Amino acid sequence: MKLQSTVELDDITVECAKAFDFEFDGNSTFDVPSLNAPPNFQIGLIVGPSGSGKSTLLGQFGQERQVEWSLSKSICSHFSSAEVAMTRLGAVGLNSVPVWVKPYHVLSTGERFRADLSRRLVDGAVIDEFTSVVDRNVAKSCSCATARYIRKAGLKNIVFATCHYDIVEWLQPDWVFDTTVGVLSTRGVERRPTIKLELIPSTVGAWALFSKHHYLTANINRSARCWIVEWEGTAIGFAAVIPMPSGTLKNAWRGHRTVVLPEFQGLGLGVRISDAMGVMVRAEGGRYFSKSSSPRLGEYRNNSPLWKPTSKNQKVRGDAKSQKSWTNQNYRLSHAERLCYSHEFVG
């Protein structure tokens, strides 16, 4: 497929072309490879360098949805319900409650990218310049979270275009069209790259690097046992446990703080870090308990054979006026009525 553009031959254009002996009559011709994608798929990806025709090919699948944001409203208020907001924002790895309640215009570039993406993910969506404005750690984590949501929600015919090849193995598309060679390849079910985390024993002082990213509080118990979580030598998270005083339980500990930095959220690292805490405590002959107000973490534990619900699971915290069983419909973010998950790690 050939495309042509025409510009006026003004003095500046003529002089620039002449300076490099470039013969130019005002017309430019572009060769764009043809793309015959499968009729039914969930995730398609067009990848190639700038100027290779990606956006033109993407236009065959539709127009990218323009997202509008109110300056006076939080980003989570732009969804039909709190439940939808939590699901869709979490779907792109934007899991920070403090970010959810901010207006769009104060977000960072990476946060804006994820927020926009959360509202564009519908059947038949086209997403241009995917991950082009974020660093590569955010690109990988967002690709992973986005693909997981699309598969789970059963969305169809979503096409991304990008100049970055490093996201292919994280997005795991059903097909990839490389504009450099003009070849479409289909992909089977493949495993994403293995992520190996290291937990480095640390002091409480390290919490200062992560405290602002905790979804509830910046405080920490000074007697906590702490670890910094590293991925390939980069600190990406923090974990801490504290003793759990009990008249009936011996050597009991409970989770105190688990934080994954925003640019690494969406890879499912938080639940693995939490599991690792349980493994270490049990290896020392202890029992490990954990409470959380996070639906994502709580539901993971509800469905994991590694965790056993306690009698306090899915109940309103003790500082509330009444006890209620948990449902998606009555989940509250308010402190007084915050419903809580409670589990013991059983290995």
The answer, yes or no, to whether residue 30 has pLDDT greater than 60, is yes
Helix (H, G, I), strand (E, B) or coil at 200: strand
What's the rounded mean pLDDT across residues 122-151?
92
Higher per-residue pLDDT: 51 or 237: 237
Q: Distances from the Cα of 301 to the Cαs of 292, 293, 304, 306, 314, in angstroms?
A: 10, 12, 5, 7, 11
Contact 224, 202 (CB under 8 A): no
Q: Where are the alpha helices (DSSP H) in the chain?
A: 11-19, 54-58, 82-91, 97-100, 109-120, 136-153, 168-171, 269-283, 295-302
What's the rounded mean pLDDT across residues 198-205?
96
Per-residue tokens: 162: 């990008």
pLDDT value, residue 338: 64
Query: Considering the entire predicted model, what is its pTM?
Result: 0.75
Q: Say how many Å lie between the first and final Cα of the chain, rounded.
A: 58
The answer, yes or no, to whether residue 223 has pLDDT greater than 70, is yes
What's the rounded mean pLDDT across residues 222-240?
94
pLDDT per position as a tens digit, 103-117: 999 999 989 999 999
pLDDT value, residue 336: 45
CATH 3.30.70.260 fits 197-345, yes or no: no
Q: Where are the domains of the chain?
A: 1-31, 36-186, 197-345
The answer, yes or no, to whether residue 325 has pLDDT greater than 80, is no
CATH 3.40.50.300 fits 36-186, yes or no: yes
What's the rounded mean pLDDT across residues 69-94?
94
Q: What percent of the chain has pLDDT over 90?
A: 66
The answer, yes or no, to whether residue 253 has pLDDT greater than 70, is yes
pLDDT per position as a tens digit, 170-197: 999 999 999 988 889 987 656 778 899 9
